[in-house]
Structure 1
């Protein structure tokens, strides 16, 4: 790893450094999601599933992760009671699920942080949110959470939401990012690999599905290290019972990564590295679906070889087979 120069060693100093490099936020209405769209992904039964994704507007996450850009669409004020339930109601009620191939199978409630953080999603909203989910007859509901809100004093609230959305299955997405302990610590996530394993155990014990987000070449790693530790991270996700792993090429755009790039601590991964990690993940077996994120992929494309690589990745995402 490249020795650090200007990036602070202490977490509190890192947080101040990250905040200092931020730009402005995008203003949003507190009663409407800032994103609402349909997308397809490989489902747990081996067929393509149509997912209805809501990007919920709420208070900013309590953690200040180095690579995060989701803060740009969050509020500086506390999430008001009823606001999240109103966002879900407004987004689901106008368009029923439909039938047959057009049926929406999964609902993603992504809130730029942790769904089970009561400061982001008030727990009094759970019952109304669950009622709207049951009325829309989704098979699966996917939320995201930091490990700090999975188990312990938060366990009863996680389990209450799981039970409230039944018969839909609950799936929780955790941003593991990397199992390279030093790089993970420098990401300022306030989470260790052991924390991830503990949270994964809690989910498995309570029959809650696990989805994992992984970064391909996070800051402080070389290109070769990015691929090696991307594959090691997939191994850990699989061993901990993850049923879905999403590989994300580490993107700039939040101010902090641009500052790290100027210091030589961050370089975007090549598409070939992203493809190599996807190829490896698909070889681990059918128990864990693996996709590579192609959202806003244009900045990573520099020539025709890159375009061909994107086409191969898209095919593997859909087929869940190695090329």
Structure 2
């Protein structure tokens, strides 16, 4: 049974505490991606394009972020050489054609313990038909290795980095092991070298009161676009990793309401500084959500993703919609 001890105040103890809360990880195959599909996304040129999204199976990320549940589909060892190209082949042979590709790997693409660098040429060869290749990476691993991979590609490289929140104290408590200055430096490196930047932002992470979550989502969007991101993705913070449930017992975390997510998306789209998406892969259910209008609100967010315009607000006779109405 997970520990009920309070979340440690010292960074050195947090990894151990977070690991102690975990349930079992899922069984995955090192030669198969654990998920893949084609989705639609609005491009920087304002065109809806198809994107092949492949979730690669690899070794767990080196960082132990409080809110992360991506480790559940990872391995404890580095995959053998050739396994990642084989995973990409497996997914692409089963997907319809697409114009862009996301290679997401539950961690950092440029972590050599996750994606063997010797596989870069084979990976680059497999994505050559796409217009854009999007990978994800922790800011600490952004450096010359990104340029090495960029130079192997025949298309535009985009790197997605998790900002999470622009609140420095909360960011530190999330065990992200980075500062806002480090994030900004990594962003500057990418942009100086012709690599596009995408930013992940958490909506209502732990330690943020629901009444303050919209404000900090807005400030995080401001920070992302100050870093010259071409796209920012709002991720509704969810439970399911053990640690988040332990946090919720002490009132430190509740999933964000759809009204808050919608208001954050409206703000970002209204800035007109870059595309703003809401991650709708696994939208958590908040205790404050209205069951009668939930589907309408999710559909509204989906429409906002694809048009980057603000549609009419949801009118529901069953709830007050205290933020959107």
TM-score, length-normalised on structure 2? 0.91
State the superposition RMSD in angstroms. Answer: 1.4
1:125 is aligned, of 107, 119, 123, to: 119
Residue 180 of structure 1 is matched in structure 2 by 167
Instruction: Flag structure 2 segments of 5+ consecutive residues without an equivalent.
Output: 312-325
Instruction: Flag structure 1 segments of 5+ consecutive residues without an equivalent.
Output: 98-103
> 1:280 is paired with a residue of what secondary structure?
helix
Which is further off, 311-320 or 191-200? 311-320
> 1:170 is paired with a residue of what secondary structure?
strand
Residue 271 of structure 1 is matched in structure 2 by 258
Moved over 4 A (4+): 93-96
Residue 236 (structure 2) pairs with residue 244 (structure 1): no
> Would you say the 8 A contact 2:255–2:284 is kept in 1?
no
1:192 is aligned, of 159, 166, 179, to: 179
Relative to structure 1, the CA distance from residue 319 to residue 13 in structure 2 (aligned partners, 3 Å threshold; closer, same or farther) is same
Relative to structure 1, the CA distance from residue 94 to residue 293 in structure 2 (aligned partners, 3 Å threshold; closer, same or farther) is closer
Residue 100 of structure 1 is matched in structure 2 by none
> 1:141 is paired with a residue of what secondary structure?
strand
Whole-angstrom CA distance in 1 between matches of 2:268 and 2:53: 24
> 2:100 is paired with a residue of what secondary structure?
strand
1:222 is aligned, of 179, 202, 209, to: 209
> Would you say the 8 A contact 1:89–1:129 is kept in 2?
no
Residue 222 of structure 2 is matched in structure 1 by 235
Deviation at 1:67, TM superposition (A): 0.3
Residue 101 of structure 1 is matched in structure 2 by none
Q: Deviations over 1:7-33 (max 9, x none)?
A: 101122111110000000111111111
> Would you say the 8 A contact 2:233–2:276 is kept in 1?
yes
Q: Deviations over 1:100-124 (max 9, x none)?
A: xxxx111000000000000100100
> 1:232 is paired with a residue of what secondary structure?
helix
Residue 87 (structure 2) pairs with residue 87 (structure 1): yes
Judging by fraction of residues, say which structure has more helix.
1
Residue 97 (structure 2) pairs with residue 111 (structure 1): no
Mapping for residues 17-56 of structure 1, pairs under 5 Å: 17-56=17-56
Whole-angstrom CA distance in 2 between matches of 1:89 and 1:123: 18
Residue 134 of structure 2 is matched in structure 1 by 142
Residue 309 of structure 2 is matched in structure 1 by 321
Whole-angstrom CA distance in 1 between matches of 2:158 and 2:42: 15
Q: Deviations over 1:58-79 (max 9, x none)?
A: 0000000000000000001122
Mapping for residues 276-291 of structure 1, pairs under 5 Å: 276-285=263-272, 287-291=273-277
Which is further off, 84-93 or 68-77? 84-93
> 2:241 is paired with a residue of what secondary structure?
coil
Residue 294 of structure 1 is matched in structure 2 by 280
TM-score, length-normalised on structure 1? 0.91
Residue 312 of structure 1 is matched in structure 2 by 300
> 1:50 is paired with a residue of what secondary structure?
strand
> 1:304 is paired with a residue of what secondary structure?
coil
Deviation at 1:210, TM superposition (A): 0.3
Deviation at 1:307, TM superposition (A): 3.2
Whole-angstrom CA distance in 1 between matches of 2:170 and 2:284: 26
Relative to structure 1, the CA distance from residue 38 to residue 95 in structure 2 (aligned partners, 3 Å threshold; closer, same or farther) is closer
Which is further off, 303-312 or 120-129? 303-312
> Would you say the 8 A contact 1:145–1:173 is kept in 2?
yes
> Would you say the 8 A contact 2:236–2:284 is kept in 1?
no
> 2:271 is paired with a residue of what secondary structure?
coil
> 1:259 is paired with a residue of what secondary structure?
helix
> Would you say the 8 A contact 1:176–1:196 is kept in 2?
yes
Deviation at 1:258, TM superposition (A): 0.4
